[in-house]
Structure 1
């Protein structure tokens, strides 16, 4: 056996062992958390944290390094990103626009989107300015503060989509306004993140911003006038038969999704939003959406997502926070929670929602989890976030998402909504 073949086999062995551990741990904690009444995805996030230096890596450091390496292997990183693109396609395909036809819901989306971005961003920026001398002394204060603002402004579209599904809210007006607002929220967040990245690299200019916004507008036109009718034709040419997607259609859909991922990456809002845009093209074809969820969606949720959560957990050290850091953690948590729920509540009330439904919207928009973790990993990789702040914000992402399930169980009966028995996820 040549050296190169041996190295390839050794890498494959290592990756297969990691995948067995990641998928098994995620599934076990998914089931455990669902039995506790929490969305299963929270258990998967916790599984990722437990496999990192917060528990396994702390008590068994040598074994952890031998299994996962000093840092995540490149194949694991790539797999996690492919999984996110496919997950975003599924979320986009399940997007329901129908309720947005009513003036009240359109008004609510505008107000909720506006307030759920501006207020948390302002609070995050202020926290960044106050904490930079203490928590991030070696990082540019403006860049760090801007990034803290983006981190607090994000809402998790993929996890919110799964929670809406588990609580039977995907076609309810509360769920539709929430997922619509979260989508707007995250697109703005990604654009801000791209602009901050350009500023940090001394590449920000009026021309740069104009080109990016023009590119996004052009993409929107192509999606609406070219790809939308093309998808309609494609599904007539390759119809769904007996709930099965024809292999040729599946191949074309995957190619389209990845191509749009490349496009959005080049436009500076990261590849995963190409997946979301691709999914939106298929949302009105319900038979396709159902077939995709059954044939591809479950595999994405069970195989790809745990890889990303473990990847994040391996770089998060909850035990690395000292007593002096807990005060800052408390400030971040208070700003993140109150800065989302209260503004969204008032935005929904202005739009005409009653008190219980406005509270539900505030609770839903407070969900951060996956998108927050993606943003934090980008910030950590680019040097915007020191280790301790990264850990604090990961805790914030988990806490704000863990809150969602219990609050919904308390609030939804007040709206007259009866949640179905939780679906397998």
Structure 2
């Protein structure tokens, strides 16, 4: 019989032969080599704990890869779940990172959580998460297209600054009540109150862009107004925060004045020299890689400079992004190339580090009322300031209310600010946990409040 006669059955038969005589023996051999003569611990928790401990003892890289794998699966899974409920995926990723800490994971499986995230491995996670935040702020600065303010500048300045000033005042008044019980030792009331005021004033510009895109509102008049107000509000709040950080880290008025002068000079150079220079450049085809490398080097250099000056590396990265935003080609290059890496791989580590910073005993039953109070003050301050200024400028009441709801989005920017305050010692463990919950709740309520506003408008 001709050999070609059996050709149609050759592939299935070879597949079975390979499975029986190659894959199965190889798998059995690997299992025997790994587990023969070894008595496995019965409880799954002990098994994973022993495995993680062995990984850490034998290879820090293996433990880091395991941590990264767990965090990414949890973050992306929770992000998909929250998108199913109509929320931005970043809310789920933030929540997943907080769940990895002692408040949930550590409370349910303390031994497993300790084995997976031993204290001496958090330094590596922390540094890589900081790199992720730097890259994210580079993208956030690049997205801050100041050209969008044309025709809306005076309105945006008035509304955005009102949306900062009113919650800032509310935060300072709230700080008067909080300082006796939550003011850290060695921190003066002025620094504490100013930081609380700024933390209640933040609007998450990048998250706002994604909410508008999900709702197809980006190019609507309300969406463009919200983008302009959030852009100016973000820039103003970061400038205020830079001044507070410079004054807090400096020892004495002389050092504080020098740091503030450095902030001013650095800002003027980036906006008055570097940004116009970028605007005049053209990126030739095939040179995108060189420009991207140059942008990353500039970001690291600016971050190093501001960190050395006592401001913080975050401000340097944000300023580099703002400078790049003047060139549409460079802006799109940074957003398309840097954001996927930062958002997909690095930011889940930052969310996890925020969760790991929360102590198991950070929240008490009495703090439930404090959470509700802080959320109410932050939300009403944003809504009242934005709504009143927008109505005074001639905006219709329904649009002014929806604009206030959009400005109440805090998201990732708020977590960055809170982590910075925690690092500087301006927040104790309990207040840090309360403000982190406030950041999640005020961001998650944006979608439902917009839906409620829409239903009210249709019914009237």
Tell me if both proteins adopt one fold, taking TM over 0.5 as the criterion: yes
Q: Distance in 2 between matches of 1:225 and 1:285?
A: 9
Q: Contact 1:144–1:384 at 8 Å: present in 2 too?
A: yes
1:347-389 per-residue CA deviation (whole Å, 9 max, x = no partner) reads 2223332222222221122111212111211222222211111
Matched with 2:39 is: none
Which of 172, 184, 187 aligns to 1:125? It is 172
Following superposition, the deviation at residue 282 of structure 1 comes to: 4.0
Following superposition, the deviation at residue 50 of structure 1 comes to: 1.0
Over 3 Å counting, the alpha-carbon distance change for 1:280 and 1:378 in structure 2 is closer
Following superposition, the deviation at residue 342 of structure 1 comes to: 0.8
| Partner SS state of residue 314, structure 1 | helix
Does 1:239 pair with 2:280? Answer: no
Q: Contact 1:120–1:149 at 8 Å: present in 2 too?
A: yes
Structure 1 range deviating more: 337-346 or 93-102: 93-102
Matched with 1:256 is: 298
Q: Distance in 2 between matches of 1:248 and 1:364?
A: 37
Structure 1 range deviating more: 147-156 or 159-168: 159-168
Which of the pair has the greater relative contact order for Cα pairs under 8 Å at 6+ separation?
A: 1
Matched with 2:76 is: 27
Following superposition, the deviation at residue 309 of structure 1 comes to: 0.6
Following superposition, the deviation at residue 127 of structure 1 comes to: 1.6
Question: Structure 2 regions of 5+ residues with no counterpart?
Answer: 1-54
Question: Structure 1 regions of 5+ residues with no counterpart?
Answer: 1-5, 417-425
TM-score (norm 2): 0.78
Alignment of 1:304-323 (within 5 A): 304-317=346-359, 320-323=362-365
Q: Distance in 2 between matches of 1:341 and 1:72?
A: 42
Q: Contact 2:204–2:414 at 8 Å: present in 1 too?
A: yes
Q: Contact 1:48–1:310 at 8 Å: present in 2 too?
A: yes
Over 3 Å counting, the alpha-carbon distance change for 1:280 and 1:135 in structure 2 is closer
Matched with 2:436 is: 394
| Partner SS state of residue 153, structure 1 | coil
Over 3 Å counting, the alpha-carbon distance change for 1:165 and 1:413 in structure 2 is farther
1:285-334 per-residue CA deviation (whole Å, 9 max, x = no partner) reads 55555555444422321101111111101112476422322232222111
1:58-87 per-residue CA deviation (whole Å, 9 max, x = no partner) reads 121121111112376222112112212222
Over 3 Å counting, the alpha-carbon distance change for 1:393 and 1:280 in structure 2 is same
1:233-260 per-residue CA deviation (whole Å, 9 max, x = no partner) reads 4x1xx326xxxx7432322222122223
Structure 1 range deviating more: 181-190 or 121-130: 181-190
Q: Distance in 1 between matches of 2:361 and 2:56?
A: 35
Following superposition, the deviation at residue 393 of structure 1 comes to: 0.6
Does 1:37 pair with 2:79? Answer: no
Over 3 Å counting, the alpha-carbon distance change for 1:118 and 1:196 in structure 2 is farther
Following superposition, the deviation at residue 266 of structure 1 comes to: 4.2
Structure 1 range deviating more: 128-137 or 363-372: 128-137
Matched positions, count: 400
TM-score (norm 1): 0.84
Alignment of 1:329-340 (within 5 A): 329-340=371-382
Does 1:365 pair with 2:407? Answer: yes
Q: Distance in 1 between matches of 2:301 and 2:105?
A: 38
Does 1:219 pair with 2:270? Answer: yes
Q: Distance in 1 between matches of 2:119 and 2:109?
A: 13
Q: Contact 1:367–1:400 at 8 Å: present in 2 too?
A: yes
Alignment of 1:5-84 (within 5 A): 10-70=59-119, 73-84=122-133
| Partner SS state of residue 119, structure 2 | coil
Does 1:115 pair with 2:166? Answer: no
Matched with 2:142 is: 93
Structure 1 range deviating more: 372-381 or 15-24: 372-381
